[in-house]
Amino acid sequence: MAPFSLFNKTSDINGFYAMLIVNRLQILYFILILPMYLVHPYMILGIVIIGIFSQINLILFSKWFTSNFSGQGYSAFVQLFGERKFRFFVLFGLIPMLLKIIVLTLNYVEAIHQFIFPSMNMLWLVLAILLISFYVSSKGMENTIHFVVIAFLFSFWVILCFIPFFFPPFASLSDLYPLIPTSWSMNSWKSLLFLWSSFSGPEYLICISPWFKRGQTIFKYLTYGNLVSVVEFLISFISSLLFFGSNYLSKTNYPIVTMARYLQSPIIERIDMILLSLHMFHFVFIISFLILSFYGGIRIVFKRVHKQTTRIGFLACCAVIFTSIAVVNQWFWEPGIKDNLWLSLEIWSSSVTFLLVPALLLAAIKLKGRSLE
């Protein structure tokens, strides 16, 4: 049998891929539910402000990419933190990664379950999506990174379908009033936290930093990716405000899918089914990317970094992921609740990782630099 290698690097990847990956990681699942968490029209400003904060965070993050450490991968981290400490960090990093895989898969499957296969057991759907993701990730990290182009091409234009909602007879300006917050509550803070967690995701680029071309200004691409996400969030939120009105929006489940249901074409009646299925490319990309990162992390924790990747190890990883999703789905999942415990866990964990990872790396570089002097 040919050797099974997942993390081989045969060629550099372009900064352009960084842009696509950042954008896809940010948009992800939250685009489907974002409007119903923001609800108030003044959150349009919120999206812009949090987008700027995320940009500031990306500036910090890009410092890591321009430092000498980024290209070396594992050995650079060991240099920065020391082996034991680094393994400890990775062990901690595995938790939000697994949480992200679980929450995203289950939430997406729930949407499919609600709109396309209401009578189907959810576990079948989980299995179907995971099998595809396992297949993609078994092709190796490099191919998975390249897969982002397909994921992007299959999903980014969906947002353009909602442009008609910006015009009469759907739209009236009064649905966007008031633009400035007139009252502030705990929920508004929660919405901002939700927004911040929707902008999270770029921190996972550290898992693939050795693949990027050396000496390239990756910052530019990160900025573009972030900008595209801001625009996509704005389009989806404003169009759903115009479509539902703020009051009705707060009572709607999956507003974006409901809007897709309203679209009509002379050929197919259920456009939402097609769009929701196309969204699967996006999911498969993110989940297979996370699976590979998870497997890589496990290898670091068990001190197997320098050995060849094995089929058994990879399959074991997949099995762990599938079982944990199945367990959560079977015993701990409450479907359809807006303030779902798992979703809030995911919101908190991704907000924290997005905030801490760039800062931590930058601090480590600064400290290292000082001790070398």
The site for another protein (CB under 8 A) is made up of 114-115, 117-121, 124, 169, 172, 174, 176-180, 182-183, 243-245, 247-248, 251, 258, 261-262, 264, 269, 272
Q: And the tokens for 340?
A: 């779902």
Q: Nearer Cβ to another protein, position 138 or 351?
A: 138
Find tokens 């979703």 and name the residue: 343
User: Smallest Cα–Cα separation from 37: which of 178, 188, 191?
Assistant: 191
Q: How far is the CB of 119 from another protein (least distance, A)?
A: 5
Q: Nearer Cβ to another protein, position 71 or 245?
A: 245
> Which burial class, exposed, middle or buried, applies to 79 when counting CB atoms under 10 A from its CB (0-12, 13-18, 19+)?
middle
Q: How far is the CB of 179 from another protein (least distance, A)?
A: 5
Q: Exposure pattern of 336-368 as b/e (b: 16+ CB <10 Å)?
A: eeeebebbeebbebbbebbbebbebbeebbeeb
Q: Where are the alpha helices (DSSP H) in the chain?
A: 15-27, 30-38, 43-66, 74-81, 83-115, 122-138, 141-155, 186-198, 218-244, 246-249, 255-262, 271-301, 311-327, 341-372
Q: How far is the CB of 280 from another protein (least distance, A)?
A: 17
Rama region for 126: left / alpha / beta (φ>0; ψ in -120 to 50; rest): alpha
Q: Nearer Cβ to another protein, position 86 or 243?
A: 243
Q: Nearer Cβ to another protein, position 3 or 118?
A: 118
Return all residues near 280 (Cβ < 8 A) that are at least 6 apart: 108, 129, 132
Q: Residue 10's Cα: distance from chain center in Å?
A: 26
Beta bridge partners of 13: 212
CA atoms within 13 A on the CB side of 246: 14
Q: Nearer Cβ to another protein, position 200 or 246?
A: 246
∠ CA 299-88-346, nearest 5°, is 85
Q: How many residues does the chain have?
A: 373
Q: Nearer Cβ to another protein, position 126 or 230?
A: 126
Q: Nearer Cβ to another protein, position 218 or 259?
A: 259
Q: How far is the CB of 182 from another protein (least distance, A)?
A: 4
Q: Nearer Cβ to another protein, position 114 or 223?
A: 114
Q: Nearer Cβ to another protein, position 133 or 198?
A: 133
Cα separation of 15 and 242, whole Å?
36
Q: Nearer Cβ to another protein, position 223 or 253?
A: 253
**Residue-wise DSSP of 106-118:** HHHHHHHHHHT-T
Q: How far is the CB of 176 from another protein (least distance, A)?
A: 8
Cα separation of 233 and 229, whole Å?
6
Q: How far is the CB of 3 from another protein (least distance, A)?
A: 17
Beta bridge partners of 212: 13
Q: And the tokens for 371?
A: 């001790």
Find tokens 């400490």 and name the residue: 85
Q: How far is the CB of 342 from another protein (least distance, A)?
A: 23
